[in-house]
């Protein structure tokens, strides 16, 4: 079965430091991959998707088919980046979700 | 303003009660979904609908039922609540298939005592 793994439940970095949130998926083929974010007291929302190859709020994510990874990166973390981040794989009729990583940016 | 609404936000209810979690959207989307999420865990799809009078069960088995009589409304019902139903329930909608961007409501946190 398709599976999305986010190995870190919690990631804490200092403001200005680089951030990398890991995501691995188990699927062969051409996946659609997404990063969703949930800020405190806000609803879950799309951050970015691999197909658009865009940078949102300074975050980028590159699909590595060889390593079946879709890690989320930002070169310089900001305090407002503190949130829950979920990686999701899209296929068939549904999204398969990782368990999420809580990112804390320390001042 | 286009949005997706869930009520109530929080619900504490006794075992055996019947409950309905409401979800409405003004996004104009045909596709709607219900997810269940336990703390610190993944979201699991429990029901989805591709349009009026269309409902399907998701991968996670659930004792809840749904209906889709109107495009904008997708309520979830538990006929007899049990403590094992305690969880967060998230409603979402999308313009295209679920493997594209989904828009989420604020969620309903259900506690069955």
Give B100→chain A minimum CA distance, Å: 7
- Which ranges constitute the DSSP H helices of chain B? none
Contact assessment for residue A104 and residue A89, using Cβ atoms and an 8 Å cutoff? no
Measured distance CA(A60)–CA(A72) in Å, rounded: 6
| Strands B87-94 and B108-112, sheet pairing | antiparallel
Nearest CA in chain A to B103: A45
* CB contacts, 8 Å: B107 with chain A: 43
Residue A3 pLDDT class (50, 70, 90 cuts) = confident
Taking the CA of residue A65 as centre, how many other CA atoms within 13 Å lie in the half-sphere pointing to its CB? 6
pLDDT in tens, A6-64: 999 999 999 999 999 999 998 766 778 999 999 998 999 999 988 777 888 999 998 88
pLDDT in tens, B17-66: 999 999 999 999 999 999 999 988 888 999 999 999 999 998 888 899 99
pLDDT at residue B98 in the model: 59
Which of B9, B38, B43, B44 has the highest number of chain A CBs within 10 A, making it the mutation to test binding with A?
B43
Tell me the residue ranges of DSSP E strands in B1-113.
Answer: 4-7, 10-13, 19-25, 31-37, 43-51, 54-57, 65-66, 76-78, 87-94, 103-104, 108-112
pLDDT in tens, B63-78: 999 999 999 999 999 9
The torsion defined by the Cα of A12, A51, B5 and B30, in degrees rounded to 10, comes to -160
Residues forming beta bridges with residue A94, ordered by sequence position: A91
pLDDT in tens, A73-97: 999 999 999 999 999 988 766 788 9
What number is the average pLDDT over the span B78-84? 95
Measured distance CA(A74)–CA(A8) in Å, rounded: 16
Instruction: State whether A92 and B99 contact (CB < 8 Å).
Output: yes
Lowest mean pLDDT segment, chosen from A51-55, A62-66, B11-15, B95-99: B95-99
Instruction: State whether A90 and B40 contact (CB < 8 Å).
Output: no
């Amino acid at each position: 079965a398709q599976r999305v793994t986010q190995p870190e439940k919690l990631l804490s970095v200092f403001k200005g430091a680089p951030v990398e949130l890991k995501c691995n998926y188990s699927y062969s083929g051409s996946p659609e991959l997404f990063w969703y974010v949930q800020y405190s007291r806000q609803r879950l929302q799309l951050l970015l998707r691999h197909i658009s190859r865009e940078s949102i709020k300074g975050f980028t994510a590159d699909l590595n088919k060889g390593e079946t990874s879709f890690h989320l990166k930002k070169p310089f973390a900001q305090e407002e980046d503190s949130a829950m981040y979920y990686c999701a794989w899209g296929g068939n009729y549904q999204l398969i979700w990782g368990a999420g990583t809580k990112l804390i940016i320390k001042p | 303003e286009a949005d997706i609404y869930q009520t109530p936000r929080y619900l504490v209810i006794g075992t055996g009660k019947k409950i309905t979690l409401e979800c409405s959207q003004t996004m104009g989307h045909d596709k709607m979904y219900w997810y269940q999420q336990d703390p610190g865990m993944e979201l699991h799809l429990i029901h989805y609908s591709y349009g009026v009078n269309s409902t399907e069960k998701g991968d996670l088995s659930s004792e809840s039922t749904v209906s889709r009589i109107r495009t904008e409304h997708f309520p979830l019902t538990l006929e007899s609540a049990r403590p094992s139903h305690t969880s967060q329930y998230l409603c979402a909608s999308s313009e295209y298939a679920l493997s594209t961007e989904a828009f989420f409501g604020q969620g309903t946190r259900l506690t069955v005592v």
